[in-house]
Amino acid sequence: MKKKKINLRDLEPKKQQGEHSHDDGHNHSSPEEISNFRTYLPAIFSFVMLIAGIAIDYFDAFPFFKGWIRVVWYTVAYIPVGFPVIREGWKSLIKGDVFTEFFLMSIATIGAFIIGEYPEGVAVMLFYAVGELFQNAAVNRAKGNIKALLDVRPKEANVFRDGDYVSVSPEAVNIGEKIQIRVGEKIPLDGILLSEKASLNTAALTGESKPDSIQKEAKVYAGSINLESVIEVEVTNKFEDSSIARILDLVQNATARKSKTELFIRQFARIYTPIVVFLAIGVTFIPYFFVDDYVFRDWLYRALIFLVISCPCALVISIPLGYFGGLGAASKNGILFKGASFLDAMTKINTLVMDKTGTVTKGVFKIKEVKAIGWNETEFMQYLMALEEQSTHPIAKAILEYKAEGEDFEAQDVSEIAGKGLKGVVNGKTVLVGNKALMTANNINVPSETESIVESIVLVAIDNQFAGYVVIADELKEDAKETITALHKVGIKNIMMLSGDKDSITQQVAKELNIENAKGGLLPEDKLNEVEILKKNPENKIAFIGDGINDAPVLAASNVGIAMGGLGSDVAIETADVIIQTDQPSKVVRAIKISRSTRKIVWQNIILAFGVKVIVLILGAGGLATMWEAVFADVGVALLAILNAVRLQKMKWD
């Protein structure tokens, strides 16, 4: 059965040409308030007319309120809420789609008028319209996070042209041009930071409220807010290719990929609705052959109740809304699902395979240990850093991050020994910095304890005497350990680490994280083979977490592919099913919890809708339920289901 939104706004005056839409990103409070009032005006009018009519009927206040006057009164009350429904039913009928909820509501309420149940006919349509308004409000609430993202889209860019900065549309800026972003402004396009440093608020992109401090030549992304000083950025992507544009497109189109539950309910409704219509016809006429005191009006009334109850509104409204709420809640937490189907798939995951570098480690070298022998540590590091200042190697950069007190030492006569290290003179002393081969070549004895160190190690000798060493390692992410613990708590017992790094390092990281199964020294195709082996067991439902760059084959082969830090990665956007916008592995646990909460609410709504409907259907066919019970079974259950689905927007998954 097709679910199409009732458009009570059709009763409003048409927009004049050039008038702003209220969803165009502009903030016009007064027109928006007027629009909201106009939206509710038909329902308010019908409600006032209905209550007044019922009061007059009940108290018999006006003797003339009978006959055609009473009919006209309730007809006027019916039209504002009933006309849009009847029109939609007629449009669907012309297209060949007969068994829509609009058709059912129209037949049921018009039938109520025919048998003289005017207040009930108006009430059914009024409550249905109110249900639609609640639905729209719930959908708008669920879309709140996406609207926040839409608001992040910058409206202008200050680009450097002809010796001055001019304000233009972001779409008009070309790759390679320089743009300026003032304090408090949004970065309009992806680029490279030209200024020395910047502090950015990336909350709308990553879900993280903590400002991000970056240095010159670091990547910046459209939608981030500049916090401290005026900065300049060189544009690297056109506006339509920017991270914010791709994320918006991804989130807005996520609902297009329906979950199996959602597809099943819609297919079920197409079969269920015509069956109920024919059963209602049967309820009207079949008793004529079996009941002695058959009264057509009574059985028609039961059939109309049957029709009202039969509308699967609660299902076709609340189930998509439940998934939409889950998608919105996830994106609010910096997690992008490419569709509702992956929310479902995530709930079934029992095996998690993860990459190491960039997933549970930061992917950058850091000093892990400094061991000075016969020297003060600070002085030892000053000698080492004096030589490393002459190198551009990543290990040298890590060493230079060490904060040594006192004046910096200067190195002279520095030379690089290919494949071994550096040699130079510092404070009149000859200093050697490099690997064991360099020490051996200069007849310097190295302590045996260095043999057992699996990480990268820098050996130092001063005046032909071994002076110590520095251990350099890839640093674990702050939340890596708690992620593994939390995964075990949510029932993911089978966790495996696959890495292209040395097996010894991979095993050490796995041991630190309490991961029992780990393999290192793997090429991308080796990782794929490992996942394929796991897939041979049909009970394994596998999620793979990688950085989205060299893990594309494994991301695609898994039941759910999860890309870490996919904000700037084309491969992650294209290949992964779920994208963690930050580099926090703990967000994977949150994604699992959000998925499970979503599925739980969806099934609560299904059970609620079916349970109440079956009970009231039986009561209605037996003449024990009135049109008012029918209204509750239809609109009331739909409202309860909607309110239940909206809970997703308020939940916390810490």
Q: Which residues are catalytic?
A: 355
Q: 304: buried, middle or exposed (CB in 10 Å: 19+, 13-18, 0-12)?
A: buried
CB atoms within 10 A of CB 88: 22
CB atoms within 10 A of CB 96: 6
- In 48-72, which positions are buried (b, 16+ CB within 10 angstroms) versus exposed (e)? ebbeebeeebeeeeeeeeeeeebee
Whose tokens are 């609705």? That residue is 273
Structure tokens at 388: 């490393």
Crossing angle of the two packed helices 586-621 and 340-347, in degrees rounded to 10: 100
Q: How far, in Å, CA of 642 to CA of 135, rounded?
A: 7
Q: How far, in Å, CA of 609 to CA of 418, rounded?
A: 74
| Cβ pair 485, 389 in contact under 8 A | no
Q: What is the 3-state secondary structure (H, E, C) of 361-423?
A: EEEEEEEEEEEECCCCHHHHHHHHHHHHCCCCCHHHHHHCCCCCCCCCCCEEEEEEECCCEEE
Structure tokens at 212: 């991000």
> How many Cα atoms within 13 Å fall on the side-chain side of residue 306?
23
Q: How far, in Å, CA of 44 to CA of 533, rounded?
A: 63
Whole-Å CA distances, 403 to 265, 293, 395, 469: 62, 99, 15, 17
| Cβ pair 74, 150 in contact under 8 A | no
CA 610 to chain centroid, in Å, comes to 29
- In 420-432, which positions are buried (b, 16+ CB within 10 angstroms) versus exposed (e)? bbbbbebeeeebb
Rg of the chain over CA atoms, in angstroms? 34
Nearest C-alpha neighbor of 227 from the set 241, 213, 215, 237: 213
| Cβ pair 385, 399 in contact under 8 A | yes
Nearest C-alpha neighbor of 556 from the set 575, 541, 530, 537: 575
Whole-Å CA distances, 642 to 214, 322, 512, 574: 43, 8, 45, 33
CA 601 to chain centroid, in Å, comes to 17
